[in-house]
Amino acid sequence: MSARDPFDGREMPANGKSHVCVYCVRGVRKLSPASWNEYTATCNPDYAITLSDTPFTASPHSQKRLTKSLERSAAWLADSLKAALTKFAASSDGLPPTGYPSLLVHMAGVSDPQARRAFAESLVEPLETVDRDRLEPLNTLDEGVAGYVFDLVPIRMALSARCPADVLADPSDLLVTNPEPAPTGAGDVRHSRDFVGLLQASLQPLPAEKPRTVNSTRSPHEMLQLILDVGIDLFDAHWAQRAADIGIALDFKFPVSDAPTDDNHNDASSAPRIRANGKQDIGHNLYNSSYAHDHSRLASAFLDAASAQATSIPPTDSSICKCAACSPRRPSAHISHSAVDAMPAQPSRSASDNILPPYTRSYIHHLLHTHEMSSHALLVMHNLAVLDAFFAGVRAVLARTDGQAELRHEAEKFMERYDETMVVFDEAKVEWREVELARGKGRLAREKAKQHESTIGTAVDLEQADS
Amino acid sequence: MQFEVLAKCPTTRARVSRMRLHHGATMLPTFMPVATQAAIKGLTSQQVESLGVNLILNNTYHLNLRPGIDILKEIGGAHKFQGWSHNLLTDSGGFQLVSLSKFTKITEEGALFASPFTGQPTMLTPEESISIQHAIGADIIMQLDDVVSSLTVGPRVGEAMWRTIRWLDRCIEHHQKSGKAGVQNLFAIVQGGLDHDLRDQCLEEMIKRKDRVAGYAIGGLSGGEEKDVFWRIIKQCAEKLPEDRPRYSMGIGFAEDLLVCVALGVDMADCVFPTRTARFGVALTFGGPLNIKLSKYSTDMTPIDETCPCPTCAGGISKAILHHTATLETAGAHALTQHNIVFQARLMGGARDAIMNGTFPEYLKRFFADYFGDSGYPVWCVNALRSVGVDLLENAEHAKVVPGDGAKWEYSDKA
């Protein structure tokens, strides 16, 4: 549970000594650490991220501001630990006491490596007298912390050439909480390299055995790099869900050797486009007109359950995308509403008899252009399945003998094959916006107005057309 | 199709029947959820199936625009396209003559539409509508009718009615020539506005075509007309239509409307109401619709209906979380949509059980008492049901009766 959406990079009013400004469904609110501790205690999630002071006012931020950010974040962490200790007698195994969330700390310091290191060191320094009494039996703040969190959005914004808050996307762009810089390109890719140094600065003073989470990566490439070079354990799936919002079906596999090549790939489902740089898109922009007649399944890198069944591949095989879009199943039971309703044929015990053909690219293309929300449901399920398979592939490679070297080798092949600039996302966004304007809220009023005004636009001269 | 009446209510004109279509059997009376553009908004076909639905509606006009006949033919029809393996009914595009009337021009030949989305003109003739419905592959297809708004008066109403009969003949011919008549079933649509004489003439003519028509719909209603007129037209049509054909009232979705229509002899209905109102944050219950966005639900940790078998209620999803997410999160829309579809299905399923058991009058009385007991029975329902032998006010001394359509809505008590 997090107080803020980590992807939200919108400009906010300044935080203060005892509050953070957060954007809620009802607008901007001031949230105090005391309130936050109360909310997390009540909701009792498994993990709660302590309140962190990251400035979202217009950058650049002064050294003084950064120092304040470190001091406040550490102080608020101490407050959270105190609240945890007060609420429950510390169990003999130490924190967390049962019935209370484990605390994760967001690593402060934004894009300043010295600041990051200073913050991390403050976590492992022995507590000063005052705090030592307050937070007994803890000797350091870190002893009460279950893991570390890194938000990439503030770092990305600090590293960007111009201030992205000025290039806020169209407000009608749903979920536009992150002001993504307008043209993607090599610049953003370069930032990925900078993250490594910054995250390492935070982690170097800290014990290695606690889980590390990163929020707001923008590609599988970035994820791989952070896994390899920083040892990151957990990622949010935001970019994959965002891809579904804009009509992209992900289509990639790790390790690359497991994905069908042009030689062994002989079914109708075509691989994503290859760009001028020789690299392949990581997915399909299903808005594109080339998919209108494409009746194949979403991802070429995986099979669908129906095709797999036809070639006697077991339904649990990792070559199959088991999402509900690629491998839909006849429901095993229907709700019966009256005694006379025809009883559905008893479902066979074997799962294979309930396998249905996959939803097609042409169908999702249709749903996207007609502004139907089931496109989103189907694409989210699919994209999360692809991402899940990606991580399963990473784990499988790490499990090999000499896993680290194997992973580096496979990661290089992945980076070689798939396009990191994600230009397919930009193309999709443009078409998403066009459909939103033509079909979204208010469009019928716009069209009726156009019809009224003149024959320019979509109005048709009915007298002339009738011939 | 095979159509068999299984039971008749001894009091009202309701009956339970079974339609065997190419994609399976559907028990009537039933309610059809609307999947206009080949999707029930927000849900997969598998989700809809698991709710106990086996007949949905697609729209010919919209599917012709997108994705278009070519793509539907390539893939083998709308069933395959949307992953729906049960029964499908297509509306011919007739209603769009009214709903998109700013963009249409009607002649004897057909209707000329200017698409509100792309501007391209489409000519929808009876033959063209049937051809499109052939490509879609629906189990039940509707004739193209000349629909006028139910509030229209004057010679246009009669003109539309007579044209509808001529268009029916053209639809029948085109359908029979195609060779699909054995697999896809054509329904006629009775028109005539709110004029009993015009309706009578239309009924007489259309019943003459009974052997070439698989069922009859009652069209041209549900456009804002007085409910008192509405039920009388339904009654008139249902009484005259043959016993051995299903009767379909188009565009009916309110619970009270559905039960009155069933009592008057109607077998099936469709409407966007339950699914649309779900997306707007309204949950349908046997006690009336709940406006989930009202603040009184913000702390209600109980499901919408403890007895409801839908995934939302059976999964324990509380009104509180639905209050929080409805209209803001798509998952809220999905949850309410599934619940409302199941509500409609339970309403009709309960009617089927009651008719089979001979207890339909009691079912009606209990429904109306639970739904309207506090706010007052709409007088038109009382009158309509009295005309088929059910007195809602019998043994209900304190019953209130309200004029007008009496439709139930939940308002904020803060207002």
B24, B112, B345 member nearest A462 (Cβ): B112
pLDDT of B272 > 70? The answer is: yes
A369 near B CB under 8 A: yes
A293, A335, A458 member nearest B119 (Cβ) = A458
Mean pLDDT of A395-420: 96
Residues sharing a CB contact under 8 Å with residue B4, sequence separation 6 or more, in sequence order: B17, B18, B20
**pLDDT tens for residues B193-215?**
999 999 999 999 999 999 999 99
CATH of the domain at A37: 3.20.20.105
- The pLDDT of residue B121 is 78
B344: contact with A, CB 8 A cutoff? no
Q: Contacts by A83-86 with C-beta closer than 8 Å and gap 24+?
A: A83/A34, A83/A37, A83/A41, A84/A144, A85/A135, A85/A136, A85/A138
**What pLDDT band is residue A91 in, cutting at 50, 70 and 90?**
low
Contact (CB<8Å) A465/B50: no
B340-349 pLDDT tens trace: 999 999 999 9
Q: What mean pLDDT comes out for the span A132-155?
A: 92
- pLDDT bucket at A457, cuts 50 / 70 / 90: very low
- Chain B nearest CA to A458, separation (Å): 4
B70 is catalytic: no
The contacts of residue A219 (CB under 8 Å, 6+ apart) are A239, A282, A420, A422
As a whole number of angstroms, the distance between CA A224 and CA A120 comes to: 24
Range with the poorest average pLDDT among A384-388, B309-313, B404-408: B404-408
CB contact B356 to A (< 8 Å): yes
pLDDT at A462 over 60: no
Judge if A311 and A182 occupy the same domain.
no
Listed range (A94-98, A256-260, A374-378) with the worst mean pLDDT: A94-98
For residues A295 and A163, membership in a common domain is answered with: no
Residue A441 tokens, joined: 């809220």
Per-residue pLDDT tens digits for B283-296: 999 999 999 999 99
For B241-362, list the strands marked E by DSSP.
247-249, 268-270, 282-283, 290-291
pLDDT of residue A173 exceeding 80: no
Give CA torsion, residues A310, A311, A313, A319, to 10 deg: -100
**Does residue A466 belong to any structural domain of this protein?**
no
Could you tell me if A152 and A195 are in contact, meaning their C-beta atoms sit under 8 angstroms apart? Answer: yes
Domain co-membership, A63 together with A142: yes
Contact A106, A73 (CB under 8 A): yes
Task: With cut-offs at 50, 70 and 90, classify the pLDDT of residue A157.
Answer: confident
3-state secondary structure B11-49: CCCCEEEEEEECCEEEEECEEECECCCCCCCCCCHHHHH
Q: At what angle do helices A423-439 and A361-369 cross, to 10 degrees?
A: 50
- Only one residue has tokens 């049937």, namely B130
A280 φ/ψ angles, rounded to the nearest 5 degrees: -95, 140
Same domain for A295 and A197, yes or no, is no
pLDDT interval class at B399 (50, 70, 90): confident
How many domains, in total, are found in chain A?
2
pLDDT tens, position by position, B324-366 = 999 889 999 999 999 999 999 999 999 999 999 999 999 999 9
Annotated binding site of B: 91-95, 145, 191, 220, 308, 310, 313, 339
Sort residue B42 into left (φ over 0), alpha (ψ -120 to 50) or beta.
left
Which residue type occupies B105?
K
Mean residue pLDDT of chain B comes to 94
pLDDT confidence bin for A170, thresholds 50/70/90: very low
Asked whether residue A213 falls in the same domain as residue A278, the answer is: no
Nearest Cα residue to B222 out of B196, B263, B258, B197? B258
Please state the ipTM of this predicted complex. 0.95
Averaged confidence pLDDT in chain A:
85
pLDDT in tens, B212-238: 999 999 999 988 899 999 999 999 999
Q: Which residues pair with B237 in a beta bridge?
A: none
Contacts A304 to B, Cβ<8 Å: none
B123-134 mean pLDDT: 93
DSSP state of B281: T
Q: Do the domain assignments include residue A395?
A: yes
Buried b (16+ CB within 10 A) or exposed e, A360-374: bbbbbbbbbbbbbbb
Q: With beta carbons less than 8 A apart as the criterion, state whether B297 and B290 touch.
A: yes
Assess contact for B255 and B347: CB atoms under 8 A. yes
Distance, in Å, from the CA atom of A208 to the CA atom of A213, rounded to the nearest integer, reads 13
Cβ-count burial A411-425 (b if 16+ within 10 Å, e if not): beebbebbbbbbbbb
Residue A358 CB contacts under 8 Å (≥ 6 apart), including other chains: A297, A298, A304, A305, A306, A325, A326, A327, A328
Residue A375 has pLDDT above 50, yes or no: yes
> What is chain A's length?
467
Each residue's pLDDT tens digit, A96-139: 556 678 999 999 999 999 999 999 999 999 998 878 888 888 99
pLDDT at residue A455, rounded to an integer: 39
Q: Distance from B401 to chain A by nearest Cα, in Å?
A: 31
Paired tokens of A277: 């740089």
Q: Are A340 and B18 inside 8 Å of each other by CB?
A: yes
Q: Quick one: A309 and A427 in the same domain?
A: yes
Catalytic residue among B91, B139, B257, B305: B91
Annotated binding site of B for Zn(2+): 308, 310, 313, 339
* A270 and A395 share one domain: yes
- Residue A243 located in a structural domain: no
Q: What pLDDT, on the 0 to 100 scale, is given for residue A447?
A: 66
Q: Tokens 């033509």: give the residue.
A: A438
A3 found inside a domain: no
pLDDT for res A185: 42
Residues in chain B: 415
Q: Which residues of B touch A459 (CB under 8 A)?
A: 114, 119
pLDDT for residue A145 is more than 90 = yes
Chain A residues within 8 A of B346 when measuring between CB atoms = 337
Average pLDDT over residues B149-163: 93
How close is the nearest chain B Cα to the Cα of A368, in Å? 11
A300 in the same domain as A198: no
- Report the alpha-carbon angle B172-B178-B179, nearest 5: 100
Q: What is the pLDDT of residue A336?
A: 94
d(CA B160, CA B209): 18
- Among left, alpha and beta (phi > 0; psi -120 to 50; other), residue A164 is alpha
Domain that holds residue A150: 20-236
For A448, the closest of B45, B102, B107 (CB atoms) is B102
Is the distance from CB of B10 to CB of B237 less than 8 angstroms? no
Contact A462 B105 (CB under 8 A): yes
* A-interface mutation test, from B59, B330, B339, most A Cβ less than 10 A away: B330
pLDDT of A253 reads 96
For range B10-25, the mean pLDDT: 96
Q: Please, which residues bridge with residue B142 across strands?
A: B187
B270 is catalytic: yes
Residue A422 lies inside a defined structural domain of this protein: yes
Q: Does A374 touch chain B (CB under 8 A)?
A: yes
pLDDT, position A171: 37
pLDDT at B414: 62
The pair of structure tokens assigned to B201 is 């003439």
Mean per-residue pLDDT, A84-105: 72
A25 vs B contacts (CB less than 8 Å):
328
What's residue A467's pLDDT? 38
Nearest CA in chain A to B113: A462
Under the banding of pLDDT at 50, 70 and 90, the label for residue A268 is confident
B79 inside 8 A of chain A by CB: no
Report the pLDDT value the prediction gives residue B112, as an integer from 0 to 100: 85
Return d(Cα B258, Cα B268) in angstroms, integer. Answer: 9
Burial label, A17 (beta-carbon count in 10 A; 0-12, 13-18, 19+) = exposed
Give the phi and the psi of residue A15 in degrees, each rounded to 5: -75, 170
> Which SS3 state, helix, strand or coil, does residue B3 take?
strand
Domain match, A53 and A141 both: yes
Query: Which of A338, A362, A363, A434 would you mutate first to test chain B, the one with the most B CBs within 10 A?
Result: A338
Tokens 């690359």 identify what position? A256
Q: What is the pLDDT of residue A178?
A: 45
Pick from A451, A464, A467, A368: which is nearest to B100 by CA?
A: A451
pLDDT at B58 over 90: yes
List binding-site positions of B for substrate.
91-95, 145, 191, 220
Residue A186 pLDDT level (bands cut at 50, 70, 90): very low
Would A464 be classed as within a structural domain?
Answer: no
Nearest to B352 among A338, A365, A462 (CB): A338
Q: What is the C-alpha separation between B218 and A187, in angstroms, rounded?
A: 64
DSSP reduced 3-state for B87? strand
d(CA B402, CA A12): 53
Interface contact B5, partner A, CB < 8 A: no
| 8 Å CB contact of A340 and B330 | no
Query: What pairing do the DSSP bridges indicate for beta strands A102-106 and A47-49?
Result: parallel
CB B351 within 8 A of CB B266: no
Interface size A-B, in CB pairs within 8 Å, comes to: 153
CA distance B94 to B191: 11
Banded model confidence at residue B2, pLDDT cuts 50, 70, 90: very high
Residue carrying structure tokens 């307050």: A134
Dig out the tokens for A143 from the structure. 């002893």
Task: Report phi then psi at B176, rounded to 5.
Answer: -70, -35
Query: How much is the pLDDT for A288?
Result: 96
Query: Do both A281 and A206 map to the same domain?
Result: no
pLDDT digits (tens, 9 = 90+) for A315-362: 888 999 999 999 999 998 899 999 998 655 544 445 567 999 999 999
What pLDDT is attached to residue A233? Answer: 98
Instruction: From the candidates B257, B267, B270, B305, give the one annotated as an active-site residue.
Output: B270
User: Given pLDDT bands bounded at 50, 70 and 90, which one contains residue B140?
Assistant: very high
| Of A43, A34, A56, A57, residue with least CA distance to A2 | A43
Q: Are A179 and A12 in contact (CB under 8 A)?
A: no
Residue B308: per-residue pLDDT: 98
Tell me, yes or no, whether A43 and A188 share the same domain: yes
Q: Look at residue A79 and tell me if it is in a domain.
A: yes
Percent of chain B surpassing pLDDT 90: 84
Please judge whether A458 and B44 are an interchain contact, meaning their C-beta atoms are less than 8 angstroms apart: no
Residue B310 has pLDDT above 60, yes or no: yes
The answer on pLDDT for A167 being more than 50 is no
In a domain, residue A313? The reply is yes
Closest-CA distance of chain A to residue B178, Å:
26
Beta-carbon contacts of A38 under 8 Å, excluding residues fewer than 6 positions away, are none
User: Does A459 have pLDDT greater than 50?
Assistant: no
Regarding whether A265 and A229 lie in a shared domain, the answer is: no
- Strand, helix or coil at B298? coil
- Is the pLDDT score of A179 beyond 70? no
pLDDT band at A456 (very low <50, low <70, confident <90, very high): very low
